[in-house]
Amino acid sequence: MTQRTRAIMNLFYLPALLLFAVFVVYPFFEGIRISFTNWNGYLPNYRYVGFANYRRLLTDPYFSSVFWNTILYGFGCTLLQNVLGMGLALFMDTKFRGRGVLRAVVYLPAMIAPLIMGYVMFFVFQFSGGALNDIMLLFGGERVDWLAVPGRTVTIIVIVNTLQYVGVAMVIFLAGLQNIPAMYTEAAHIDGVGSWGMFRYITFPLLMPAITSSVILNLIGGLKLFDIIRALTPPSPSTGAASLSTYLTYQYANVERAGYSAVLGIVTFVFILIVSNLTMWFFDRREAQML
């Protein structure tokens, strides 16, 4: 290919870059500008307040819980989804009746809007008339206000999100398992390798690329978690279940502090980029080591 052809070819990604410039890069810098104002988000008059919004970040009583929740949602969901997804994939990699139905049913929730799933989960976890409390009563227990305790609420949200999206990890691993050439496992079988050894030394390393993709996918989803939290809890961060995404929209829409919301946005933006890139780098290295 000539230099000229290459140059012309590169024009093909200009439309994409233009979109990113307008809707990602420019807003990022505009966000930095807004972070120095006391804009309330709708009235046209505001003024520049220097670093006041950044100082607020340091004294914000909710910030640390919001930050840790985001990490819990990100890594908690990722861990659970991959472990359970791997279990389900191994389970379904054998032939038995009903596994087609099982695969469809486990994957189905991933197709449904997380917001709607969250609303349905409120029917399950609410105190008065909630489906879970009806089971508690049936077995002679006491009703529990499931969503009242911060730690428990976070756990419930992690579990709901995990169960909704575990199908994604499952189908990725299932496809990975089916790509493993039978000769490897047969050879190992002849050598007398047990089922744990088989998994540890054959299946797991060969699944590494699938694991990498699945982890990154789940991590990005978990760190951005929004809809389910919105559906299950009130907007205020005092519930102890808010994530960075819900907290920054709360500051923008409810508290009417667009400037501070912009600061939280910058923190979220930078934090998620760092975490995702570190994770990718970590897995790239592991994969390279294993090959």
Partner 1 sequence: MKRLLSIGLILALALTALPAITLGDGVTLNVWTNMTGVVNETFAEVCREFTAETGINIDYAAPANDYEALMKTKMATEDLPDVFSTHGWSVIRYSSFLRPLNDQLWFGDISEVIIPLITDDDGNIFVLPVDIDIAGIVYNRDILAEVGVDVDDIVTWTDFAAVCELVKEAGYIPVYLGGKDDWTIGQFFDWVAPSFFVTNEAENDRDALIDGTFDWNKWGALADMFADWNQRGFLNVDAATSDYATCTTELGLGNVAFEFFGNYAIVDANKAGPANLGMMPIPAYFEGDTPTLIAGERLAMGVWKDSKHPEEALQFINFLARPEIMSKLASANGALAGFESVESDTGAVAGDFEKYADVRTFPYFDRIYLPNGMWNDLCATGLGILNGSMSTEAIVDYMRESYLEKMDLL
Partner 2 sequence: MKTAMKKNWWRYLLTVAILLLYLAPFYILIGVAFKMPSDPSSRWILPNYIYLDNFAKALEGRILQGMQGSLIITLCSVSLIICVGALAAYPLARNKSKLNKAVRGFILGVMMVPPLSILVPIYSVMKVINGISTYYGMVLLLLTFQLPLSIFIYSNFIASIPTALDEAACIDGCGPFRTFISIILPQLAPVTASVAILTGVTCWNDYQFSLYILQKPQIASVTLAVSDFFAQTSSNVFAAAAAALLGLLPIAVLFLLLQKHFIKGMVDSAIK
Q: Which residue, 169 or 242, is less far from partner 1 as judged by CB?
A: 242
Site for partner 2, residues 145 to 164, rule: CB under 8 A? 163
Site for partner 1, residues 30 to 89, rule: CB under 8 A? 40-44
CA angle 244, 250, 255 (to 5 degrees): 135
Number of residues counted as binding partner 1 (CB under 8 A): 27
Any idea what DSSP says for residue 75? I
Binding window for partner 1 (CB under 8 A); candidates: 2-10, 67-75, 180-188, 227-235 = 227-235
Window 246-265: contact mask with partner 1 (x via CB under 8 A)? -------xxxx---------
171 forms part of the interface with partner 2 (CB under 8 A): yes
Minimum Å gap between C-beta 131 and partner 2 is: 4
115 forms part of the interface with partner 1 (CB under 8 A): no
Query: In the beta sheet, which residues pair with residue 48?
Result: 37
Instruction: Select from partner 1, partner 2, none the partner in contact with residue 120, using the beta carbon and a kind-dependent cut-off of 5 to 8 Å.
Output: partner 2
Among 15, 129, 140, 181, binds partner 1 (CB under 8 A): 129
List, in sequence order, the alpha helices (H) in the chain: 3-10, 14-20, 26-34, 52-59, 63-71, 77-92, 99-107, 114-125, 131-138, 150-179, 182-190, 195-198, 204-223, 227-232, 244-249, 258-290
Binding window for partner 1 (CB under 8 A); candidates: 80-88, 166-174, 188-196, 238-246 = 238-246
Binding window for partner 1 (CB under 8 A); candidates: 83-91, 127-135, 203-211, 220-228 = 127-135
Minimum Å gap between C-beta 2 and partner 1 is: 43
Q: Are 106 and 89 in contact (CB under 8 A)?
A: no
Residue with token string 């139905």: 101
CA-to-CA distance for 126 and 231, rounded, in angstroms?
12
Q: Which residues contact 160 (CB under 8 A, 6 or more apart)?
A: 117, 118, 121, 228, 232
Q: Which residue, 14 or 137, is less far from partner 1 as judged by CB?
A: 137
Q: Are 216 and 280 in contact (CB under 8 A)?
A: yes
Binding window for partner 2 (CB under 8 A); candidates: 8-16, 48-56, 147-155, 180-188 = 8-16
DSSP string covering 186-229, please?
HHHHHTT--HHHHIIIIIHHHHHHHHHHHHHHHHHHHHT--HHH
CA angle 266, 272, 274 (to 5 degrees): 100
Q: Are 247 and 67 in contact (CB under 8 A)?
A: no
CA-to-CA distance for 163 and 56, rounded, in angstroms?
37
**Residue 33, CA distances (Å) to 28, 194, 214, 266, 276 in order:** 9, 61, 36, 11, 25
Instruction: Select from partner 2, partner 1, none the partner in contact with residue 30, using the beta carbon and a kind-dependent cut-off of 5 to 8 Å.
Output: partner 2
Number of residues counted as binding partner 2 (CB under 8 A): 94
Instruction: Select from partner 2, partner 1, none the partner in contact with residue 226, using the beta carbon and a kind-dependent cut-off of 5 to 8 Å.
Output: partner 2
Q: Which residue, 129 or 190, is less far from partner 2 as judged by CB?
A: 129
186 forms part of the interface with partner 2 (CB under 8 A): no
Among 52, 68, 85, 101, binds partner 2 (CB under 8 A): 101
Interface ranges with partner 1 (CB under 8 A): 40-44, 122, 126-129, 145-148, 150, 232-236, 238-240, 253-256
